[in-house]
Structure 1
Amino acid sequence: MVVRREQARAAAGDNAREVIERLRRVLPAEVVRGDATTRAAYVSDGSVFRIPPSAVVLPRDADDVARVLEVARESRTPVTARGGGTSIAGNAIGEGIVLDFSRHMDRIVSIDPGTRTAVVQPGVVLDDLRAAAAAHGLTFGPDPSTHSRCTIGGMIGNNACGPHSVRWGTTADNVIGLRGLLADGRAIDAGRGSSGDPDIDDRLRRLRDRHLVPLRTELGRFSRQVSGYGLHHLLPENGFDVAKALVGSESTCAVVTEATVRLVPSPPVRLLVVFGFPDVFEAATAAADVARCDVLTVEGMARDLIDALRTRPGREQAGGELPPGDGWLYCEVGGADTEQAMAAARAVTALVAERFPAASARVVTDPAQARALWAIREAGAGIAARMADGGEAWAGWEDSAVPVGALADYLRDLYRLMDSHGLRGIPYGHFGEGCLHLRCDYDLHTEHGLAAYRAFMADAADLVAAHGGSVSGEHGDGRARSELLPRMYGPQTLAAFAAFKEVFDPERLLNPGVLVDPAPLDAEVRPGPGHDRLDLVPVHALSGDGGSFARAVGRCVGVGSCRTLHAGSMCPSFKATRDEVHSTRGRARVLAEMLRGQTLPRGWRSTEVRDALDLCLSCKACATACPVNVDMATYKAEFLHRHYAWRPRPLAHLSMGWLPVWSRLVTVAAPVARAVNALTARPGVAALVKRIAGIEPRREMIGFAAPTLRRWMGRRPSPQKIYNVKAAAQEATSLSPRTVVLWPDTFTNFHDPGPGRAAVEVLETLGYRVELPRGPVCCGLTWHSTGQLGPARRALRGALRALEEALAADRPVLVLEPSCAVMLREEARELLPDDPRAHRLARLVTTLAELVDAHDGPWPFGDLDIDAVTQIHCHQEAKGSFDADLRVLGRLRVRSDRIGSGCCGLAGNFGFERGHWEVSQACAERELYPKVRAAAREDLVLADGFSCRTQIAQGTDRRARHLAEVLHAALRAGGDRGPGAPSGGTREET
């Protein structure tokens, strides 16, 4: 059988071009993807394995699937079904044709509230089904932590479970019927009592009757035993349920095209009870008792997970809401109303207090706090991919399970086993059902490390079997654990598995290497030897990855947070195109393939990599929203820097990358700026300029300031002395007003000085003396975003020289443009890591909101009492905080409706470049444009980013304002009031 599998793989490699041509003869070109970029993006899933496919097909319906299977039979090409690609065991990759159901076959066919059932296609995302069912007070019970992007088809393939399976069971428990196709083209309609094919039913009954004893004694012993095939569902006492037997078969037997699933009533009120224990072992011991209570979840985690989370940017205080302890259980309870839910919470709290007196507890009634706590647990797969000290941790022994009563002893023995192998790991998981997630710091980069990995996996399999457990508890066996099945099952059970596969797929075309005829668990490991052949010293320090570009790219473990469509800010281009290549994960895979130098042999000159990165907006959402902080904007800048080294660049890189230079030249004198504005206002001239500059024809030209902010500052008369109480006191005692350095960024200085002028007057009213840096400055943002890292570093060095006096005096540097603030706070240290001035500047940079929020003198602003639609700049959301802005807006009585979809879509040069118009507009249409259009005329539209204001102005009939302009307007209604004083009064002027 192994020979047969190797022959199939060789055939797939040799005939890839022919297979793609055959597919394109029977399917539309847009659903057949055979380009190297796409195949590189699909080389892996959420596992440690790497297998480049021959082709990727995005089927539209069952007929397309049938045509693919026909081509597969004729060409002897393997077929692998894939949903969200979040498999941690390597069940969603293959060397032949990969069927990605998530793109088109994602329809909820029907929901029947009366029978509490739903009919869905395999590409339906779990959260979409849950949202549709919620309208009827129902839900789909199993809910893995990847619920925002995993698909029902993938859940069926792996028999996924999730936190609520302690109440509602596994996916198999919630599947009623499956429709699909076999590799030979036959259709099945499987359910309780039949597969829909009499011949298959007859063969399955004979198989079952030959193996009655092992099916009854070795399978179905506890809820999380999902390793192997679920043949116990074929037993007479279980109703000969073929659909349930196929759940967890990892698409090795049939390709599912439609499923009928069970829905369950969702409690109207849910409360979270969190228990803290002295250690994770006591938490594991308590899990069995808690699981017997009327609870919806019993989730466990150890201190290791919190320690790792606190190393993530912006998460240093994470877990502070947890009760004291070093091990925790999350217990969700539900009820028809709050009183009933509270009664359930009191009952489980009393039980734990009685049996575990050292435990602490917290009942969380605030939904926002509950969501924040759940976010810790749900991000576990990503968080655990990095140890607290930054070391890598990998899946492999990812989701073993034991009967819940044996969990504590198993966990203790597992820690001892890790210690004996010199490994560290971060445990967490579904403690109420004995299922444990664990990533370890295996060395998967060397042959010696892979041998040690194999040895640990074998010992771990023996250990879990000794505790009566399963090598897999919900993610399936895949390539990670199929080879280990003989360590937990006897020869008769394994023979039954092989016979089951033979009934459905005798030619071994469907997902070969999984379950039956397993691939070696240490073969084709993605981070294995040779993964970093093209690694080199990057321009950025990449301080979090030891200066290794390969290690930085390798942060992506494939959990797929970037594929969430309806929530969050990552990844905007994927949300617009729904193309795996345009996800953060897809781009990371393509970059990794480039570094390996096999499927993309042109390295840094690769046009495939360039194309994969082209639609990255460099919004930096992934730098924080990704649980392992993949920073694709930085990787893109590094790639473009090398890709275009000593080569002609796109025109847009020369026009918009060098915008600071062109803007300075055009605004050398106000008459020149006005003349250029007049010329570019003419359609013919504008069209010519846009063609020469590589600018999208449908974009409007931006204007130039006449005069610039710097010239306005230089020519204005001495500012009128407007003092609040504190400033007057300073003058009376001969103290100089506090000095703040206003950073004249390119956009504020040369294009839109209004926010700068408003900021100056606001600051002077607060008692500051405002000065500008000596000489022209630039943070290098436009060069950085276009991958021109040499000019970017030179610009930063020039800025540091201009700021030397301010840095020496520890003067705050106020930056009005959020992207420039991030550039000076974050990127400067990475681009100039050995320059102490860059680190000092990062500490001194402040935003206007932060400065005003910290102001401890009288409050000179009046109440605006107005609603606002607020677009937070994507860089500020990713690398900063909007908390100070909210506090300031709150004091102004500005009620802010925040845009939650992330980047506005313009993203600096991105939205102006040719070929980006559709994605740019699609990003804005997700939430920004609709909310701005729906806002009342008297409502404010707020956006501190120049790009955001430009996108709003060019896509709606509204003008967005900077916070500085809002504060300036509030001065007119302001008065001298102490912090927190009620509004009213008159501003004193001297």
Structure 2
Amino acid sequence: MTATQTHKSGNSAENSALAARLTREIAGDVFFDPFNRGRYATDASFYQLMPAGVVIPRTMDEALRTLAIVRNDGRVVTPRGGGTSQCGQTVNHGIVIDFSKHLNRIVSLDVENRSCVVEPGIVLDDLNRQLRKHGLWFPVDVSTASRATIGGMAGNNSCGGRSLRYGTMRDNTLAMDAALADGKQLHFGEVSPGDNGPDLFRDMLDLGAREAAEIAEKFPKVQRRVGGYNLDALVPCNAPNNLAHLLVGSEGTLAFTTQIELKLWPVIRNKVLGVCHFGSFYEAMNAAQHLVKLRPIAVELVDRTMLALGREIAMFQPIIGTAVRGDPDAVLIVEFAEEDQAENIRRLKQLGGLMGDLGFGWNNPQRKWGGVVEITEPALQTGIAEFRAAGLNVMMSMKQEGKPVSFVEDCAVPLPHLADYTARLNEIFARHGTRGTMYAHASEGCLHVRPVLNLKLEKDVAAMRAIAEDTFAMVREYKGSHSGEHGDGMVRSEFHEAMFGPRIIADFREVKHRFDPDNVLNPGKIVDAPKMDDRTLFRYPPDYRVPELKTALDWSAYPGAGGGFQGAVEMCNNNGACRKLEGGVMCPSYRATRNEKDVTRGRANTLRLAISGQLGPDALASDEMMDTMKLCVSCKACRHECPTGVDMAKMKIEVLAARAARQGLSLRDRLVGYLPRYAALASRFAPLANLRNNSPLLRKLFEKFAGISARRALPEWRRDMFRSDAETVGPADGREVVLFADTFNRAYERENLDAALRVLVAGGYRVHIPKPVDNGRPLCCGRTFLSAGLVDQARAELDRLVATYAPFTTRGVPIIGLEPSCLLTLRDELLSLRSDDTARGISAHALLFEEFLVREAEAGRLQLPLGPVAAKTIVHGHCHQKSFGAFKPVEQVLRLVPDLNVETIESSCCGMAGAFGYGAETYQASMEMAELSLLPAVRRADAATLVVADGTSCRHQIKDGAGRGALHVARVLAMSLDSARSTHYSSPITKDPIHG
């Protein structure tokens, strides 16, 4: 019987009683329902253990109260931060306590002495953002820095990419405050043998003195040894022993951390990178031991597999294209970061010389590849760092049933043995019928290694076991550590006895029992662990099944059953990149609420549990599933920013379609979905249709019966909807384009279409606005229907559009649109509804207004007489523009306007997101999203500054939340045309005005 089975899991009545007590005594969230428990049943490992309940305390006193209540009830407790552990450290059958939402403050900061005290739930990136203004940072820079909490990093003894210079978490932890399982609170810091401290401390120092010789013999002599308990911190030495270092790496099994005191360092001000190219993987590994002699702060490996996968991910394509020459088998990224940039440049030149001395110069005829690409530009350095940090998840983006699996993930061997170790490792993989991916910390002899396996198959699970045993035996042969960065959890704890010997294992058990005699704290980790290949503990246990699913959209690009929908859902590996709080767009709802329910990972986990029957029958169309999806704004940020490509916006359409098929439509769904079909009628009776905005009574009635917030003004219908009497305007000999007049700009803001038409004609283009082939209502992309789950109706609208535009695209005429959500539907959802060549032709020719103008300018074909309109503009990008890499052209086009200073608002989703911001139950979340960055930035702008936003919903949110009008880029360019004409001003157009 394992430790995870020694405590009661509780029957329904017992769980209800515990839940009721916790709810009474804890102000924070208490969850005992299957949906919320399921979201905490997994971390970034391949394990799944359903907890009895989840508590999210608001204060540390509440956290300690929860510990006491749960302990007295005979349950176990697992503390949790970002839930990004690779080895199953943060899952258990007891009560999970989530520190990340509320317990995330800097308690104190001592700038002069470079130290701070923090709560365990603070995220590393958030900590460093606050420290940066003081010129300091915490340098244990793990790749999950955007969501990893300091408490979790302390639990794992995290290392980061620059541990060659800065050391591990243990090296940078000064002290810790923690409570034992019985509630006793202690301060863990420096202690000398003669100090009159707690009995526990004396017992630990006595153990260290008693076992000093055994520890010296059995503990690997590599920096990256993070397996087991840090007994070497207890061995007598010249300086005081720091008992906080015993808690570091203990994975929440010894004490309940309440505060952590950290050692801080000056921020890196200058750095350079050298990307060293190698024709074989072995050559790269063998070279690492020589490159470290130049004293870099990091040497990171990127292998052929990771480069190939990265080239398939839009956000990384330009980075790899610039930093990597040709097709090397591996590159080593060498980083120098001395205070003096001249010294960094000198070492970078030395690196090139050393590579030449080793036979890896660019022009060596004996080598297939060689040489160094020097990277001194900060933006490119940042891009390379982001690519390297995303490595774990880039590897997981393989669209196949087998995935790179973490279990021999981070073994560490002495650097001179690294090349032979990796060569033999590949032989082990081949012997067991697979291959592996490798990357990361070559400077430390610690590579992230993942064999490709399908853990739904018994034969692959058996192969995993055999690979683990063979690999760990080889690591011991090289006197390395089987755990070099990601800790033990349930993956490696089983193998401690082979690594350390029975006597050290007995010491580990003694430490655990002395701290936690009743085995309350996160049992089953480090000591008394289950078998690592116990499939009953897997995310995909032996009885895991997903019945055949009839899907509304085409998911054939993904592996697996259910038309690929299952494979798409299972692309989520729980890495938690969607939990980042700044940078990019993903995930706007999580940034507003900090709830696991409202993050892409939480939704994907819920979908997986639902389609596999673990949440009961018909869970996909249930109220609980709709609650899970409620705050998803379909921004598509995850499609672009999730390293494994989880497309939650598309998955939400499936949920909405299932819901609509099972339960029908609400009044609001009908009003939103069918808007394009009644728009012309509403326009005809615009004064009547707009009455609701001016009547408090009608607002209240709309909220009660249609769920539309009374606090929102709806877009105003207008009688003068955009209509073009002529199907073609512009010079007869001009280059042809089609202007797609979307429903929103046609019905509400025709000025944008008028302006776009003026700009295109002024540029010499022949603009087609064709009538629908059926001579019916105006064309529509189907976006509103998709937002209500009405997939068949959306397909019908797109069929009309395709039939109308096909004669143009077959002769290469581009389709230009103004509304990002509408135009980009042609590049995205259209291909999930139709897979024929005609539809693909439409998709390939669909361009946003700015994308088209940039393309024309770069080809030297754009001729626009433009004049000045303002001194400055601030620009908010629509989420879909960012997702499809279509936002940069907005900035480029605005820079065509003379004397206009263009500043981009670093914003996530505006929060309006189509109809989302109008919902009575989502209004508040909508405003919270807008207040994160967009609205404050608009309010700071002076009255003379232009506010630019291409999205209809974005403009409405800015108007509602900041009282400012925002303009589409087309209107800014039309204003610029007017300025040129009125002042006889004409900006000089070069051959390539975009790039000067």
- Whether TM exceeds 0.5 here: the answer is yes
- 1:341 corresponds, among 317, 341, 344, to 344
User: CA offset at residue 638 of structure 1?
Assistant: 0.4
Match in the other structure for 1:673: 686
Match in the other structure for 1:332: 335
Q: What's the CA shift string for 1:405-462, capped at 9, x where partnerless? A: 2211111111111111122222111111111112332111133332222222222222
Mapping for residues 902-941 of structure 1, pairs under 5 Å = 902-941=908-947
Distance 1:402 1:61 in 2: 42
Q: Is the 8 A contact 2:9 2:94 kept in 1?
A: no
**Do residues 378 (structure 1) and 380 (structure 2) align?**
no
**Do residues 485 (structure 1) and 488 (structure 2) align?**
no
Q: Is the 8 A contact 2:315 2:641 kept in 1?
A: no
Mapping for residues 170-249 of structure 1, pairs under 5 Å = 170-193=168-191, 198-237=198-237, 239-249=240-250
Which amino acid in the other structure matches residue 750 of structure 1? A
Structure-2 change in CA distance of 1:204 and 1:685 (3 Å): closer
Q: What's the CA shift string for 1:511-545, capped at 9, x where partnerless? A: 11111111221231113444442451422212431
User: CA offset at residue 644 of structure 1?
Assistant: 2.7
Q: Secondary structure at the match of 2:714?
A: coil
Which amino acid in the other structure matches residue 592 of structure 2? A
Distance 2:61 2:511 in 1: 26
**Do residues 128 (structure 1) and 130 (structure 2) align?**
no
Q: Is the 8 A contact 2:177 2:259 kept in 1?
A: yes
Q: Secondary structure at the match of 2:294?
A: coil
Structure-2 change in CA distance of 1:428 and 1:15 (3 Å): farther
Q: Is the 8 A contact 1:380 1:428 kept in 2?
A: yes
909-918 vs 396-405, greater mean Cα deviation: 396-405
Distance 2:692 2:433 in 1: 70
Mapping for residues 527-566 of structure 1, pairs under 5 Å = 527-546=540-559, 547-566=563-582
User: CA offset at residue 790 of structure 1?
Assistant: 1.9
Which amino acid in the other structure matches residue 266 of structure 1? V
Which amino acid in the other structure matches residue 236 of structure 2? P
213-222 vs 624-633, greater mean Cα deviation: 213-222
254-263 vs 192-201, greater mean Cα deviation: 192-201
Q: Is the 8 A contact 1:225 1:472 kept in 2?
A: yes
Structure-2 change in CA distance of 1:537 and 1:414 (3 Å): farther
Q: Is the 8 A contact 1:149 1:563 kept in 2?
A: yes
Q: Secondary structure at the match of 2:840?
A: helix
Structure-2 change in CA distance of 1:12 and 1:42 (3 Å): farther
Match in the other structure for 2:800: 798
Q: Unpaired runs of 5+ in structure 2?
A: 362-369, 773-777
Match in the other structure for 2:484: 473
Which amino acid in the other structure matches residue 880 of structure 2? H
- 1:959 corresponds, among 946, 951, 965, to 965
Match in the other structure for 1:701: 714
Match in the other structure for 2:737: 740
Distance 1:301 1:388 in 2: 20
Structure-2 change in CA distance of 1:581 and 1:794 (3 Å): same
Distance 1:161 1:982 in 2: 47
**Do residues 651 (structure 1) and 667 (structure 2) align?**
yes
Distance 2:136 2:454 in 1: 45
Distance 1:287 1:942 in 2: 49
Match in the other structure for 2:367: none
873-882 vs 595-604, greater mean Cα deviation: 595-604
Match in the other structure for 2:469: 458
Which amino acid in the other structure matches residue 133 of structure 1? L
Q: What's the CA shift string for 1:220-249, capped at 9, x where partnerless? A: 511001111111111002743321122101
User: CA offset at residue 16 of structure 1?
Assistant: 2.7
User: CA offset at residue 641 of structure 1?
Assistant: 0.8
Distance 1:857 1:26 in 2: 68
Match in the other structure for 2:747: 750
Q: Is the 8 A contact 1:178 1:259 kept in 2?
A: yes
Q: Secondary structure at the match of 2:7?
A: helix
Match in the other structure for 1:294: 295
Q: Is the 8 A contact 2:400 2:558 kept in 1?
A: no
**Do residues 257 (structure 1) and 258 (structure 2) align?**
yes
Distance 1:764 1:116 in 2: 62
Mapping for residues 381-780 of structure 1, pairs under 5 Å = 381-387=392-398, 392-523=403-534, 524-546=537-559, 547-667=563-683, 669=684, 672-678=685-691, 680-710=693-723, 713-714=724-725, 736-775=733-772, 776-780=778-782
Mapping for residues 349-360 of structure 1, pairs under 5 Å = 349-358=352-361, 359-360=370-371
Structure-2 change in CA distance of 1:530 and 1:979 (3 Å): farther
Q: Is the 8 A contact 2:140 2:159 kept in 1?
A: yes
Match in the other structure for 2:364: none
**Do residues 980 (structure 1) and 990 (structure 2) align?**
yes
Distance 1:446 1:704 in 2: 58
**Do residues 888 (structure 1) and 893 (structure 2) align?**
yes
Q: Is the 8 A contact 2:693 2:713 kept in 1?
A: no
Q: What's the CA shift string for 1:801-833, capped at 9, x where partnerless? A: 232433444322111111111111111011212
Structure-2 change in CA distance of 1:913 and 1:748 (3 Å): same
Match in the other structure for 1:49: 47
Q: Secondary structure at the match of 1:84?
A: coil
Q: What's the CA shift string for 1:958-981, capped at 9, x where partnerless? A: 111111111211212347777417
Q: What's the CA shift string for 1:768-787, capped at 9, x where partnerless? A: 23222323221110111222
Structure-2 change in CA distance of 1:390 and 1:362 (3 Å): farther
Structure-2 change in CA distance of 1:916 and 1:850 (3 Å): same
Distance 1:873 1:193 in 2: 56
User: CA offset at residue 857 of structure 1?
Assistant: 4.7
909-918 vs 154-163, greater mean Cα deviation: 909-918
Q: Is the 8 A contact 2:780 2:801 kept in 1?
A: yes
Match in the other structure for 2:865: 860
Match in the other structure for 1:156: 154
Q: Is the 8 A contact 2:4 2:93 kept in 1?
A: no
Q: Is the 8 A contact 2:278 2:360 kept in 1?
A: no
Distance 2:992 2:270 in 1: 38
Q: How many equivalent pairs are there?
A: 961
User: CA offset at residue 153 of structure 1?
Assistant: 0.4
Q: What's the CA shift string for 1:356-410, capped at 9, x where partnerless? A: 5344113322110100111110110110113387953232222121122221111
**Do residues 816 (structure 1) and 818 (structure 2) align?**
yes
Distance 1:212 1:56 in 2: 41
Q: What's the CA shift string for 1:520-574, capped at 9, x where partnerless? A: 2123111344444245142221243143212111111122111111322110000
Q: Is the 8 A contact 1:857 1:978 kept in 2?
A: no
Which amino acid in the other structure matches residue 754 of structure 1? E
Sequence identity percentage: 35
Distance 2:196 2:937 in 1: 50
Q: Is the 8 A contact 1:385 1:628 kept in 2?
A: yes
Distance 1:336 1:866 in 2: 38
Q: Unpaired runs of 5+ in structure 1?
A: 722-726, 984-990
Which amino acid in the other structure matches residue 437 of structure 2? I
Q: Is the 8 A contact 2:45 2:86 kept in 1?
A: yes
Match in the other structure for 1:782: 784
Mapping for residues 138-157 of structure 1, pairs under 5 Å = 138-157=136-155
Q: Secondary structure at the match of 2:321?
A: coil
Q: Secondary structure at the match of 2:827?
A: helix
Structure-2 change in CA distance of 1:156 and 1:530 (3 Å): same
Instruction: Tell me the C-alpha RMSD between the 2 structures.
Output: 2.4
Match in the other structure for 2:366: none
Q: Is the 8 A contact 1:944 1:962 kept in 2?
A: yes
Which amino acid in the other structure matches residue 20 of structure 1? A
Q: Secondary structure at the match of 1:103?
A: coil
Which amino acid in the other structure matches residue 673 of structure 1? A
Which amino acid in the other structure matches residue 483 of structure 1? E
649-658 vs 554-563, greater mean Cα deviation: 649-658
User: CA offset at residue 4 of structure 1?
Assistant: 5.0
